[in-house]
Chains A and B, each alone.
Chain A
Amino acid sequence: MKDITRRNFIKSTGTAGFAFWLGLSARGSTSKALDLATAKNFTPFILIESSGTITIYNTKPEMGQGTFQSFPALIAEELEVSLEQVTIRQSNGEKELGTLQRAGGSASIRTSYLAMRKVGASAREVLIQAASNKWKVNADNCYVESGKVINRVTKASFTYGELAEDASKLELPKEPKLKEAKDFKILGKSGKRPDIPLKTCGKAEFGIDVQVPGMVYATVERCPVIGGTLKSFDAGEALKVAGVEKVVEVERVVGKYHFTGIAVIANSYWAALQGRKKLKIVWDTKGFETFQSSAYEEHLRSLGKQDGITDKTIGSVEMVKVSPKDTIEAFYETPLIAHHALEPMNCVAQVKGDKLEIWTSTQVPSSVTGSTPNDLHAIVGFTPDNIKLNAKFIGGGFGRRLYMDYIIEAVNVAKHTDKPVKVIWSREDTTEQGPFRPMTFSQLKGGFSEEGKLISFQHKVISPSYFESMRPDYDKTKVDAIMVEGIGEQAYEIPNVKTSYVRADYHVPVAAWRSVTSSTVAFPHECFIDELAYKAKMEPFDFRMSMLNKPSDTKRVMQKLREVSGWDKKSPKGKGKGVAVWEFFAGLCAQVVEVTYRPDKTIKVDRVIAVIDLGEVVNPDNVRNQVEGAIIMALGAATKPGISLKNGQVVEHNFYDNPLVRINEAPGIEVHILAEGGKVKGVGEPGLPAFAPALANAIFAATGKRFRKMPFDLRVI
């Protein structure tokens, strides 16, 4: 933990009096990722004004995962104030607040849990010190309650506001004392999220809602054949449309890809759309017009025969003696899919000379305002100090808003005018342009000993490479660590394991999609475990437990799941249940899915029981909301059509041909939280990967039909 030696600075706020900024390193002791990113920053999270007003900054973008409450809760708990007493402000990538202003990887709470509590606790301790100095008593003779320091003996008190100035002159303690869990007033309780009331009456401002004086609107026509470049365009007719002001060429950068589009700028979004219809554009489709998804999938299947690059080995699958009759193999396929955040991509940008101002929904404020070579400034050509961000509530992230492509594009539009420009992506733009979650195929092989014990297990992933999509200098001789995540990390005790990766060339940008590759490799992995169980003539839950003898988080979670799901109660005829568990960087969750195989040969998903392992829980109801939502999202990914390309163009356009799950398809869901201490785990993503395999396993139990390809249509069994 970096030394916390003194406060950052006192900031005078004019009529509000002196404000007391606490400068603290955000370096926590819970995770490597936090250490690497925050080496030397001081991070002021708390503003205490002499008037008594307390402001706490939430530096984790709010996209529905509840950080607007849960992140400040960590600070407020130790500061001994209720969240109702404070004003919570969303951060805007301000330098003083550090480089961790981003939400993704289920990392907000799990990497900052202790660090943020220490922020609150240090503040509490200097406030107590300031009061005890004034009373000339020992700090032990003081305690805090509801924003006041109270003298145990005389019962005199000072508010935090009255102490702010004095406290700001004291050195912050390096290792403040943290509260004990039994004394928690906020943490572990389902506190109300202050953003929810705004979201039920239309007051919450999302990026797409931003209105700036003098603002104009833009829509961009992008090459329908992904990978095509611009040859020429004729804006003559477009410019005649009422309201259209300008038509300009703009670049969008996503990962290593640079795409050119034609932006129509108008005085209303509607007018811009009408103008866009009148554009005459000639694209050079560069041979990509011959690309067909079906042929590409055949290509991936044939690549599956290659050995690829070995990622992880335990023992030796080559040396161990397994008879062919005790071996099974299977090939699994998952599709290209879109994120479909309901708020489409959008950004308002204004260029005034060398200054840039941005208003948008983004998961990565620190990348918008940051000064590393990968940050926005380097791509759009402004100095970091001249970039100002106004970060808004996010209408769905799911990984899509980790990328700044739509921001870059909007900035490039704004360069053509001094007015603020709002660029909005239509739902069609979203469906047709990506970036997408890459299709990921898996080859699995397992073998048993003579005695019937699983002694050999191989999982090979065949897919486009995420890192290759992100950077031009990707080393093709190395395994893409993201594409093989988790497949060599599950807790099963198997003496010989080999995981490997076969990379496939691909020209379409790919992106992280909620739970990243776990959303495409847990399905084959955990379905195949079931296939192995049936081969061994063992009950699937028993089979898994037979490989979980040592104490592990997975074992603990599975034991709890077996109990709360009533797994051992046999399903009546026509019904089936399936189980799956998955652990990865974000966390650990196991699920049982129960289905009915109806007389009309369709499947109804009845109930899902999930156990999520957290270590520490900040807001239980919010955790349940997240796991419920992840399961619904997983249901869509498992059973709805993905994205396909024909003649280089995406075939699907909107929700009528790229549907999402609707309320009538939602099963009952029960979420059980394990928070028994230890490593703090994430919440946003872990509920997703285990669902599809548990569902497929339940369908097999009910019907005898094994699905090895996502999506599988529940109406056609």
Chain B
Amino acid sequence: MYNPTLFFEYYHLFKWESKNINLMINLNVNQKAYQIDADPNMPLLWVIRDIIGLTGTKYGCGVAQCGACVVHLNGEAVRSCVTKVSRAEGQKVTTIEGLSNNNDHPAQVAWNEENVPQCGYCHSGQIMSAAVLLRENPNPTDADIDSAMAGNICRCGTYLRIRKAIHLAAEIQKKEGASK
């Protein structure tokens, strides 16, 4: 049945997609409100980095293969390089900068304790992925870790330290939970 309103909406969607027309988009990033003027198809990654200016989230591949771009959308790990910014509208985005106030999320504490990073470029994404694992599975085995972290590439090869740090983070998390 012909619905003029729906036609109007679809027409505009088509028009925006093909002509890269910008929209005002409301975002909540690290508990701060932003109103940004962008193409709704722009990946969240580039909005976060280039428009909002938070560069902790990294570009590594652009095709969801390497995990350097992982952020939390309502607490779930998503690859911001393939997430359109329009999907984040009205949702809660957390980047590495917002994971903790003092570099003191259990994963961050463990990463520092174990001297995990070499060049460090992948570790924003590694930590964001690890944070979700630790929330979902407070007692991960090596196999659990491998499974959860296989989507995060480290070219420098710090994998053994990542495993060790996640085990340590689990312990830290337990202690913090016990002391609450």
Binding site for B on A (CB under 8 A): 63-66, 190, 192-193, 195-206, 208-209, 211, 217, 241-243, 268-271, 274, 340-344, 393-398, 424, 426-428, 621-622, 625-626, 628-633, 654-656, 660-664, 666, 668-669
Contact = CB atoms under 8 A, between A and B. Distances in A.
Given A271-B20, A626-B118, A396 B155 contact: yes
A652 to B, nearest CB: 12
Contacts, number: 188
B74 interface: no
Contacts of B157: 628-633, 661, 666
A209 B55 contact: yes
Contact of B159 (A190, A655, A656, A666): A666
Contacts of B152: 662-663
Contacts of B60: 342-344, 427
Interface centre among B59, B116, B145 (most CB of A within 10 A): B59
A203 B98 CA distance: 11
Given A190-B115, A201-B108, A203-B97, 19 more contacts: A195-B120, A200-B103, A206-B58, A206-B121, A208-B59, A209-B49, A269-B46, A342-B58, A343-B58, A344-B59, A395-B58, A628-B160, A630-B157, A632-B157, A632-B159, A654-B63, A656-B65, A663-B146, A666-B163
B153 A655 contact: yes
Contacts of A633: 155-157
A218 B40 CA distance: 20
B156 A396 contact: yes
A153 B100 CA distance: 51
Nearest to B122: A342
Contacts of A344: 59-60
B33 interface: no
A655 B63 contact: yes
A269 B50 contact: yes
A280 B59 CA distance: 27
A242 B118 contact: no
A26 B63 CA distance: 45
B121 A200 contact: no
A195 B158 CA distance: 16
11 contacts: A192-B112, A196-B112, A197-B112, A200-B127, A217-B50, A342-B155, A393-B119, A398-B155, A628-B160, A663-B150, A664-B146
B65 A664 contact: no
Contact of B117 (A196, A271, A628): A196
B42 A663 contact: no
Given A628-B157, A628-B160, A200 B112 contact: yes
A395 B121 contact: yes
Given A201-B103, A242-B39, A663-B152, A668 B160 contact: yes
B117 to A, nearest CB: 4
Contacts of A201: 56, 96-97, 99-100, 103, 108
Interface in B8-67: 19-22, 39, 42-43, 46, 49-51, 53-63, 65-66
Q: How large is the interface on B (under 10, 10 to 19, 20 to 34, 35 or more residues)?
A: 35 or more
A200 B115 CA distance: 10
Nearest to B54: A202
B56 A202 contact: yes
B108 A394 contact: no
Given A201-B100, A629-B158, A663 B59 contact: no
B123 interface: yes
B5 interface: no
B119 to A, nearest CB: 3
Contact of B149 (A64, A217, A660, A663): A663
Contacts of B56: 201-203
A395 B97 CA distance: 18
B95 interface: yes
Contacts of B146: 663-664
B147 interface: yes
B116 to A, nearest CB: 8
A197 B96 CA distance: 13
B20 A202 contact: no
A340 B61 CA distance: 10
Contacts of B100: 201
A374 to B, nearest CB: 26
A384 B46 CA distance: 34
B153 A426 contact: no
B170 interface: no
A243 B163 CA distance: 43
Contact of A663 (B96, B99, B159): B159
- Which 8 pairs between the two chains have the least Cβ-Cβ distance? A202-B56, A632-B157, A199-B120, A64-B118, A395-B121, A64-B119, A629-B157, A209-B55
B85 to A, nearest CB: 10
A632 B157 CA distance: 5
